[in-house]
């Protein structure tokens, strides 16, 4: 019983990566769920778990609501984001009920666009460095000794504003040989952090149908009480009076949440996973105001995956594939609609899929 319980902790705490696939800037926080009957050899001696997860995606398909703006690619005006992140996690298993974890992301982003560089030639901006670090504590709600078939784990954490949320790069103000450049904060979608101290809540659940097949579910919510981080959205320029009146001249510090559900099936040392994940930047935060520039939106993906078990190590790969992308109307969009009398709703670039590859090792 104790072995099964420790296996479940490892499976649920392997990695926690929440990143929407595109300009809807959901930032690193959680990921893969492995098989209930992960290898059991020497599991009683394991008190620590180290994990590393790499994630890559390319976002380039623009959506307003759920409608793709196909003309952007046809005209060559689409924004193209390349995002690569490495999330490191270390978990300390305290006893049969409690565990604590530390998550440290390293991020590298590239953003290519025309409209940010004078509109006549495509140029790139970049960001690289430490993301927002998170510390969390976890506890099983039911006694693992008597509930090996079904259990729920709750988690509470703090996300620190360790990532540079005002990362600066060079923007072109004109095209051609006489082009001039200015320095300014990069777009919100490739900033390394959001600038707010946040609080995370989590629920992780499993249900074992038999020793090969189990079901899983995850819920994660990040509350960001800070409304705005004071960083300009004008890329080194001066905001207009209209932009200020819509509150879109500075970056917002949004909430975010993730819901996942699926099943795992084990065949020898391989575990095959299939499920769905829903990621969202809401229009309104639960605590604090919601003004300032943000790209609220939703992404629904199908999430196949495979895990291979080797003694104390798991190696896994997941490929979330987008089936629904929705850029919703933000608070500045609504303010602009009210002030001008003309409906306004911004767009966002999304990816078709992301690639998640990583490993975990217990010791």
Query: Any idea what the CATH number is for the domain that residue 214 is in?
Result: 2.40.128.130
- The pTM of the full predicted model, rounded to 2 decimals, is 0.90
Look at residue 324 in the predicted model and tell me its pLDDT. Answer: 98
Look at residue 30 in the predicted model and tell me its pLDDT. Answer: 39
Look at residue 51 in the predicted model and tell me its pLDDT. Answer: 94
What percent of the chain has pLDDT above 70? 86
What percent of the chain has pLDDT above 90? 79
Task: Please give the tally of structural domains in the chain.
Answer: 1
Of the ranges 2-6, 135-139, 219-223, 243-247, which one carries the lowest mean pLDDT score?
2-6
Q: Does the pLDDT of residue 18 top 80, yes or no?
A: no
- Interval 119-139 mean pLDDT: 95
Chain-centre distance of CA 124, in angstroms?
A: 22
pLDDT band at 35 (very low <50, low <70, confident <90, very high): very low
Look at residue 5 in the predicted model and tell me its pLDDT. Answer: 53
- Interval 209-222 mean pLDDT: 95
Which residue's structure tokens are 């030639």?
121
Look at residue 277 in the predicted model and tell me its pLDDT. Answer: 96
Q: Is 292 left (phi over 0), alpha (psi -120 to 50) or beta?
A: left
Higher-pLDDT residue of 25 and 335 is: 335
CA 49 to CA 275: how far, in whole Å? 24
Alpha carbon distances (Å) from 310 to 39, 40, 41, 113, 360? 8, 11, 10, 44, 10
Of the ranges 32-41, 260-269, 339-348, which one carries the lowest mean pLDDT score?
32-41
Mean residue pLDDT of the chain comes to 89
Residues spanned by the domain of 99:
2-362
- Interval 235-263 mean pLDDT: 96
Q: Does the pLDDT of residue 32 top 50, yes or no?
A: no
Q: Does the pLDDT of residue 41 top 60, yes or no?
A: no
Q: Does the pLDDT of residue 34 top 90, yes or no?
A: no
Chain-centre distance of CA 288, in angstroms?
A: 21
φ, ψ for residue 178, nearest 5 deg: -95, 15
* 189-204 tens-digit pLDDT: 999 999 999 999 999 9
* 147-176 tens-digit pLDDT: 889 999 999 999 999 999 999 999 998 755
Look at residue 360 in the predicted model and tell me its pLDDT. Answer: 94
Look at residue 40 in the predicted model and tell me its pLDDT. Answer: 34
* 113-127 tens-digit pLDDT: 999 998 888 999 999
- Interval 1-24 mean pLDDT: 56
Look at residue 3 in the predicted model and tell me its pLDDT. Answer: 54
- Is the distance from CB of 260 to CB of 275 less than 8 angstroms? yes
Look at residue 9 in the predicted model and tell me its pLDDT. Answer: 53
Alpha carbon distances (Å) from 229 to 33, 189, 193, 253? 33, 14, 10, 6
Q: Does the pLDDT of residue 256 top 70, yes or no?
A: yes
Listed in order, strand segments (DSSP E) in 20-149 are: 48-64, 67-68, 80-93, 98-113, 123-130, 134-140
Look at residue 7 in the predicted model and tell me its pLDDT. Answer: 52
Beta strand 67-68 with 48-64: parallel, antiparallel or unpaired? antiparallel
Look at residue 22 in the predicted model and tell me its pLDDT. Answer: 61
Look at residue 26 in the predicted model and tell me its pLDDT. Answer: 56
DSSP-based three-state secondary structure for 209: coil
Which residue's structure tokens are 């098989």?
35
């Amino acid at each position: 019983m104790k072995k099964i319980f420790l296996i479940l902790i490892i499976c649920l705490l392997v990695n926690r990566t929440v990143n929407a696939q595109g300009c809807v800037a959901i930032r690193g926080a959680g990921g893969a769920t492995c098989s209930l009957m992960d290898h059991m050899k020497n599991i009683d001696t394991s008190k620590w778990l180290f994990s590393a997860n790499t994630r890559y995606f390319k976002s380039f398909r623009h959506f307003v609501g759920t409608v793709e703006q196909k003309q952007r690619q046809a005209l060559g005006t689409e924004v193209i984001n390349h995002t690569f992140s490495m999330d490191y996690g270390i978990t300390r298993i305290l006893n049969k009920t409690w565990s604590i974890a530390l998550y440290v992301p390293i991020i590298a982003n590239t953003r290519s666009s025309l409209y940010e560089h004078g509109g006549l030639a495509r140029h790139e901006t970049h960001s690289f460095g430490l993301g927002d670090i998170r510390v969390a504590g976890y506890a099983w709600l039911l006694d693992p000794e008597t509930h090996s078939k079904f259990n729920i784990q709750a988690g509470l954490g703090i996300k620190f504003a360790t990532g540079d949320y005002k990362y600066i790069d060079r923007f072109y103000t004109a095209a051609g040989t006489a082009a001039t450049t200015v320095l300014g904060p990069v777009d919100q979608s490739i900033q390394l952090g959001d600038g707010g101290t946040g609080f995370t809540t989590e629920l992780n659940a499993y249900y074992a149908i038999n020793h090969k097949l189990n079901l899983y579910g995850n819920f994660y919510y990040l509350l960001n009480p800070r409304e705005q981080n004071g960083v300009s959205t004008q890329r080194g320029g001066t905001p207009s009076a209209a932009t200020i009146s819509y509150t879109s001249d500075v970056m917002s510090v949004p909430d975010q949440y993730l819901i996942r559900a699926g099943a795992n099936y084990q065949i020898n040392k391989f575990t095959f996973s299939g499920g769905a994940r829903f990621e969202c930047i809401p229009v309104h935060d639960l605590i604090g105001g919601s003004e300032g520039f943000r790209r609220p939106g939703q992404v629904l993906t199908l999430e196949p995956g495979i895990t291979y078990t080797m003694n104390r190590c798991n190696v896994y790969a997941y490929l979330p594939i987008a089936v629904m992308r929705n850029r919703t109307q933000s608070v500045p969009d609504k303010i602009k609609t009210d002030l001008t009398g003309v409906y306004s709703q911004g767009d966002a670039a999304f990816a078709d899929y992301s690639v998640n590859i990583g490993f975990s090792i217990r010791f």
